[in-house]
Structure 1
Amino acid sequence: MRTKISLFDICNNIFLLLIALICTYPFLYIFFLSISDGRSIASGDVVFFPKNPNFEAYQYILTNSSLGIFRGLLNSGIYTAVGTVVALLLTYMTAYVLSRKQIKGRFLIMSLFVFTWVFEAGIIPAYIVLNKLGFVDNWLVMIIPNAINVQFLIITKTFLDGLPTELEEAAKIDGANDFQVMSRVFLPISKPILATIGVFYAVFIWNQYLMPLIYLQNPNLQTIQVMLKRLVISSGDSNTAFRTIIQDGIMLNPGNLKAAAIFVAMVPIVLIYPFVQKYFKKGILIGSVK
C-alpha cells in the first residue's frame, strides 16, 4: 500500500532542510576556509567551497608547539572527560538521595541548592575562597567547584521522582541495601537522563573560558578556549601571532590558520552528540515534563 505524500509534507521537509543548511553553513564555511589555499583567501575567491584544498594549516597549528593548540586541546579533553564523569557521579548520587521520601530534611537541602543557584557571590569572593582552598593554578578548579549544577540536579531528581517506588521495595525485599538499589536498580534505567546531562556537562566544561582565564595562569594548564582568544582575537603578540607562511609549497595566511584553530576547537565536542542522540530526546523530555 502506497503512502500518499501531501504538498504540506514536501514543503515542510524543504523548509527543515533549509533550516539545517543555514545552521550548518557557518561550520562548513570555517572548515572550507581552513583547507583553502592562502592565495585564494587573500584574493577573496573563497565564498563557500574550498579552493585548492589542503590540510597544511592543521598540520602547522597542531605541530607548532609555540602556538599551544595541541596542548590546549589535550588539557580541555582531560578536564572535560574527568569533569563530566565526576559531575555525573555526584549529581546522580545527590539527586537519588534527595528523591528518597525517607530522607528527612531533603526539602531543606534542596532549598539550599536552589539558593546557591539563584544568589551567586560574584567573581571576587569566589576567587578569594578558591584561592584559600588552593585551586589557583590547579587543574581541579575545572572540575570540583562546578561538579554539581543545580539545574541539572533538579532535572535528574525529577526523573528519579517519576520512577516507580515498587522497584526499590522489591529490591529491598530481596535483600539489597540502599547503595545496591541505587547502583543496580535505578542506575541502569537512568541512562537517558545521565546521557542528557552528561552532554550538558561536557559542553559546559569544554566551553569554559572565564574559569581557566582567571584561575589557570600557568600556560601548561590553559584550555583551548584561552588559546583561541590569545591566537585568534588578541594576536598582537609577535611570538604567537599567525603570519603568512609557505609550507611545502602551499601558502598559509592568518585566515587559514585562524579557521583551522577554530574548527579543531569545535570538532571534539560535536563528535559527542551522535553517541548519545538516542538517549538525548527521551532524557530531556522526561526530565522536564515530569
Structure 2
Amino acid sequence: MKKFSWFDLINNTLLVLVALLCVYPFVLIMATSLSDGKAVVAGSVYLLPKGLNLEAYKYILGNERLGVTAGLLNSLFYTVVGGFVAVLVTFMTAYPLSRKRLIGRYTIMLLFLFTWVFEAGIIPNYIVYNGLGLVNSWLVMILPMAVNTFLLIITKSFLDELPYELEEAAVIDGANDWQIMWRVFFPLSKPIIATISVFNAVYIWNQFLIPMIYLQDRSMQPITVILYNMIINSSKGGTSLENITVNGVQLLPQNLQAASIFLAVVPILLIYPFTQRFFTKGMLLGSVKG
C-alpha cells in the first residue's frame, strides 16, 4: 500500500485547480451562448445556462451577413487540405534527410534551421507572396505552411530511430527508394504522422495573421478573421451585432459572440480523441534520440 504523502496531495490539488481554471472559460462561453440574453444582462450566468436555447447558434449559422458559416467552411477546407499537404511534404522531406547515404543532408538541415531562426518579416514576405500570386488566393493558406521546421525535426528524429536493417531487407527484395519510403517506413510512422497532423491542423485552424493580411476577399476568410471582425473590430467598421429577439428569446451581442467562439473552438478539439493514442508515443519517439 502506498504511503500517504502531503506532497502528492498538494500537487494533485494544484493540478486540479489549474485544470478547472483552464476549463472554466470554455464552460462560461458555452453557458453564455445557450442562455437567454436577460440572464446574461442580469449577470446570473456562471456555470450552467439560464433559459436554455439554441437560438444564438441558429441565428449566426443562418445569417450570411455575419459570415460565420462561410468562415467555418473555409477554415475546415484550409485545415484538411493544408494539413494533408503539410504531412505529405514533411514526411517526404524528413525521410531522405534521415538516410545516411544522402550527400549534404546536414547542410540541407542547417538551411531549414536558418529559416526557422531568422524570419524575413512581413514586408519581404508580402513582396514574395505577391510576386507568386498568393495574395487573395486560397493557396496562401496551404503552400507557406507545407513545411514546419520544428515538425520536420521531430519527424526526422523518429525516422532515425527506425532500424536501418528494414531498408537493407527491402533493397534485397528489389524495392526502390520510393517503395521503401511508402511501403516500409510510412506504415511504421503512424505515431509521428498522427502527431504532426494534430500540430498542423491546430496551427492552420488558428492561423490569423496570414489570412488577415493576404485574404482581403471576405469570401475566403477563415473563422479567425470573421471572429476578429465580429468581436474586436466591430467598433471600427467590422461586423456589428445588435440586440435582437428571436422566437421570444432575447439575444445580445454577448450571446452571438459566445456562440461564434464556441463554434470556432469545438471542431479542432474533436480531432484529439481520435489521435490521442498516437500522440504521446509520437512525441516521445520523435524528440528523444540516444
Shorter-chain TM-score above 0.5:
yes
Q: CA deviation at 1:176?
A: 1.0
The corresponding residue for 2:200 is 201
Deviation (angstroms), 1:14: 4.7
1:260/1:170 CA distance change after superposition, 3 Å: same
Unaligned runs of 5+ in 2: none
* Residue number in structure 1 paired with 2:271: 272
Q: CA contact under 8 A between 2:35 and 2:53: conserved in structure 1?
A: yes
Distance 1:72 1:113 in 2: 32
Question: What amino acid does structure 2 have at the position aligned with 1:223?
Answer: P
- Any idea what SS the aligned residue of 1:208 has? coil
Tell me the secondary structure at the aligned position of residue 246 of structure 1. Answer: strand
CA shift, 1:185, in A, is 0.7
Secondary structure of 1:145 counterpart = helix
State the one-letter code of the partner of 1:154. I
Q: Give per-residue Cα distances to partners, 1:107-148, cap 9 Å, x unaligned.
A: 111111111111111100110011011000100000001210
Distance 1:256 1:288 in 2: 43
CA distance in 2, matches of 1:104, 1:238: 55
Give the C-alpha shift of residue 21 in structure 1.
2.1
Q: How is 1:78-227 mapped onto 2 (pairs within 5 angstroms)?
A: 78-227=77-226
CA-based RMSD of the aligned residues comes to 1.5
Q: Deviations over 1:30-80 (max 9, x none)?
A: 101110110000111112221111111001001100000000000000000
In 2, the alpha carbon distance for the partners of 1:6 and 1:29 equals 39
Structure 1 match to 2:234: 235
Partners of 2:97 and 2:105 within 8 A in 1: yes
d(CA) in 2 for partners of 1:60 and 1:111?
51
Inter-partner Cα distance in structure 1 for 2:141 and 2:238: 28
Q: Report the Cα distance in structure 2 between the residues aligned to 1:21 and 1:73, rounded to whole angstroms.
A: 28
Q: Secondary structure at the match of 2:90?
A: helix
1:154 & 1:130 partners in 2: Cα distance? 25
Greater CA drift, 229-238 or 160-169: 229-238
- Residue 288 of structure 1: how far off its partner (Å): 1.2
- After superposition, what is the alpha-carbon deviation per residue over 1:205-260, rounded to whole angstroms, capped at 9, x for unaligned? 00110100011010100010000000011112678311110001111001111100
Hey, what does 1:69 align to over in structure 2? 68
CA distance change for structure 1 residues 99 and 239 in 2, over 3 Å: closer, same or farther? closer
Answer whether contact 2:191 2:281 (CA < 8 A) is retained.
yes
- 8 Å Cα contact 2:94/2:155 also seen in 1: yes
* 1:89-108 alpha-carbon deviations (Å, 9 max, x no partner): 00001000101111111111
Q: Which amino acid aligns with 2:182?
A: S
- 1:23 positional shift: 1.9
Equivalents in 2 of 1:239, 1:209: separation in Å? 16
User: How does the TM-score come out when normalised to structure 1?
Assistant: 0.95
- Inter-partner Cα distance in structure 1 for 2:279 and 2:239: 40
> How far off its partner does 1:15 sit?
4.5
1:174 alignment partner AA: D
Q: Is the 8 A contact 2:233 2:239 kept in 1?
A: no
- Cα separation, 1, equivalents of 2:146 and 2:237: 38
Q: How many residues were matched structurally? A: 287
Q: How many angstroms apart in 1 are the aligned matches of 2:205 and 2:122?
A: 20
4+ residue segments displaced more than 4 Å = 9-15
- Structure 1, unaligned stretches of length 5 or more? none
* Structure-2 separation of matches of 1:164 and 1:19: 41
One-letter amino acid matched to 2:190: K
Higher mean displacement: 70-79 or 235-244: 235-244
Q: Letter of the aligned partner of 2:68 in structure 1?
A: I
Report the 3-state secondary structure (helix = DSSP H, G, I; strand = E; otherwise coil) of the residue aligned with 2:250: strand
What CA distance in whole angstroms lies between the structure 1 residues aligned with 2:50 and 2:243?
Answer: 17
SS at match of 2:180: helix
User: SS state of the match for residue 276, structure 1?
Assistant: helix
Match for residue 17 of structure 2? 18
Counterpart code for 2:58:
Q
1:181-219 superposed Cα distances (whole Å, 9 cap, x missing partner): 110111011111111111111111001101000110101
Structure 1 residues 107, 35: CA separation in 2 closer, same or farther (over 3 Å shift)?
Answer: same
- Percent identity reads 58
User: How do 1:237-276 residues align onto structure 2 when only pairs under 5 Å count?
Assistant: 240-276=239-275
Q: Distance in 2 between matches of 1:18 and 1:214?
A: 39
